[in-house]
């Protein structure tokens, strides 16, 4: 069980990640559900006099929290309470239907559980923000922590966002595309497939699959399927993932381990084991007012102390072992460098096209790779088979660029591109992939936007407009 975050991937098999189920879950959260007796017995023993408060918190509706995308510049949610450990995090007074908010589809914000945003503070205190770092999110779907990481990096660093389960890669990629950063690669590999990247990363985040005890009030299935045997199984799986992950951290680098559970076997025991594998535990300075509980081997969020879910995390620094590997400087063999004499075609589409190297893939798709990070992209490309590299630009049709949806959401877009500022009703109909028309829109490729945020492309013609929103991105619910 992963910490639950809002995913935009409509093909996800995890119903809790589907935005169309938000309204259902909001009402189900308030229904008092039975918790496993062995879990309650253990927590009563662990928490002592605090147990009644803990249990009462589990029986309350879960807080609703979002994190704004600083690169999009959204100014919204004026009635929201700030989350103290993240500058862009906010609690909402009630849960809206996010599917019916065009700003959500534009990547203006991410729906993320508040406790898990503490990863931002762990980064700030250990490696700093906006740094030239190579970062790996090893168990990334649906993408909440990856979007947090890349915002913390800004344009300076490189993020590889990996997901093992194939049908969760699509939602992960969609969420990262909405976030709009060009310095991200996505991969679909088991942690044990990363041996060629040993010592490559400055930071590795392992947000490990777990027994999900911290999500019982949000997810009835987590409570229903919990057992002492599942805790043992999860602990062993986590140890296997960590065994592979620790080799990927370069000497002096940081490994962040997190779960959404409470028990010692999955949390403290695994961190103590890491401390015996060439890592040292890093203590953080967290204000008492935040309510986070410091433990011997990490930090635990309890729902009666923190306005959030049951999240555990620990930070460790590598004291020896893997040295940084030599970077590759050649693109994938099946990529063709875009002809230099045609590079002018990208002027007017990107704000700084000179910051990128452009390539054509075998399927004729054009991708752009940030020049300052090209070696990191190419090293990953040479080391992993199932990966998606570069910012998708589009493809040429008779020497004209047909832009990709990814480009519409990119933070690198040229600010002077034509825009059609839509009303909320128009934006929602666009997001249902319906064609719109107004006579004063500029002819040609035009960004459909809402409150200044692009949500996709339209091709405006003399007597109609064509909607280029990808089918798998469209809203399926009734308006």
Catalytic sites, residue numbers:
260
Contacts 24+ apart (CB under 8 A), 333-338: 334/361, 334/362, 335/359, 335/360, 335/361, 335/367, 336/360, 338/366
DSSP per position, 159-207? EEEE-SSGGGHHHHHHHHHHHT-SSEEEE---GGGGGGGTT-EEEEEEE
Helix segments in 180-332, DSSP class H:
220-225, 228-245, 268-274
Q: CA 401, CA 408: separation in Å to the nearest integer?
A: 13
Do 366 and 400 touch, CB atoms closer than 8 A? no
Sign for the pseudo-dihedral over CA of 216, 108, 124, 89: negative
The residues, any chain, with a CB within 8 Å of residue 63's CB and separated by 6 or more, are 91, 114, 307, 308
Q: Which of 327, 230, 304 is nearest to 62 (CA)?
A: 304
Omega prior to 142 cis, within 30 of 0: yes
DSSP 3-state assignment of 348?
A: coil
Q: Are strands 444-450 and 419-421 parallel, antiparallel or unpaired?
A: parallel
Q: Are strands 312-318 and 184-187 parallel, antiparallel or unpaired?
A: unpaired
Do 237 and 211 touch, CB atoms closer than 8 A? no
């Amino acid at each position: 069980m992963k910490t639950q975050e809002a995913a935009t991937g409509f093909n996800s098999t995890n119903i809790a990640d589907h935005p169309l189920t938000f309204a259902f879950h909001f009402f189900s959260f308030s229904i008092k559900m039975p918790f496993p007796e062995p879990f309650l017995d253990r927590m009563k023993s662990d928490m002592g006099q605090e147990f009644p408060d803990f249990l009462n918190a589990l029986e309350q509706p879960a807080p609703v929290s979002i994190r704004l995308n600083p690169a999009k510049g959204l100014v919204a949610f004026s009635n929201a309470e700030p989350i103290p450990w993240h500058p862009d995090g906010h609690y909402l007074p009630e849960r809206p239907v996010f599917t019916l908010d065009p700003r959500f589809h534009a990547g203006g914000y991410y729906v993320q559980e508040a406790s898990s945003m503490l990863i931002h503070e762990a980064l700030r205190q250990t490696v700093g923000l906006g740094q030239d770092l190579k970062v790996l999110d090893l168990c990334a779907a649906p993408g909440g922590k990856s979007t947090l990481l890349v915002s913390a990096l800004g344009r300076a660093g490189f993020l590889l966002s990996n997901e093992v389960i194939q049908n969760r890669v699509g939602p992960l990629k969609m969420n990262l595309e909405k976030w709009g950063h060009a310095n991200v690669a996505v991969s679909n590999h088991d942690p044990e497939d990363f041996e060629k990247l040993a010592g490559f990363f400055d930071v590795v985040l392992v947000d490990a699959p777990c027994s999900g005890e911290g999500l019982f009030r949000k997810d009835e299935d987590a409570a229903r399927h919990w057992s002492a045997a599942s805790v043992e199984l999860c602990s062993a799986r986590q140890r296997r993932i960590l065994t592979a992950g620790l080799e990927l951290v370069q000497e002096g680098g940081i490994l962040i381990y997190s779960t959404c559970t409470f028990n010692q076997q999955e949390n403290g025991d695994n961190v103590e084991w890491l401390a015996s594998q060439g890592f040292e535990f890093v203590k953080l300075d967290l204000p008492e007012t935040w309510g986070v509980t410091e433990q011997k081997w990490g930090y635990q969020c309890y729902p009666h102390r923190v306005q959030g879910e049951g999240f555990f995390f620990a930070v460790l620094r590598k004291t020896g072992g893997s040295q940084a590997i030599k970077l590759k400087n050649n693109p994938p063999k099946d990529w063709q460098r875009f002809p230099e004499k045609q590079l002018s075609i990208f002027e007017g589409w990107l704000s700084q096209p000179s910051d990128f190297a452009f390539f054509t893939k075998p399927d004729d798709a054009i991708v752009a790779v940030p020049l300052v990070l090209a070696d990191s992209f190419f090293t990953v490309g040479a080391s992993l088979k199932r990966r998606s590299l570069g910012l998708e630009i589009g493809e040429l049709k008779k020497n004209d660029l047909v832009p990709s949806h990814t480009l519409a959401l990119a933070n690198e877009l040229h600010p002077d591109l034509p825009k059609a500022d839509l009303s909320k009703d128009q934006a929602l109909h666009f997001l249902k992939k319906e064609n719109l028309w107004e006579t004063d829109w500029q002819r040609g490729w035009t960004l459909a936007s809402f409150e200044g945020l692009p949500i996709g492309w339209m091709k405006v013609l003399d007597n109609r407009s064509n909607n280029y929103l990808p089918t798998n991105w469209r809203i399926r619910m009734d308006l």
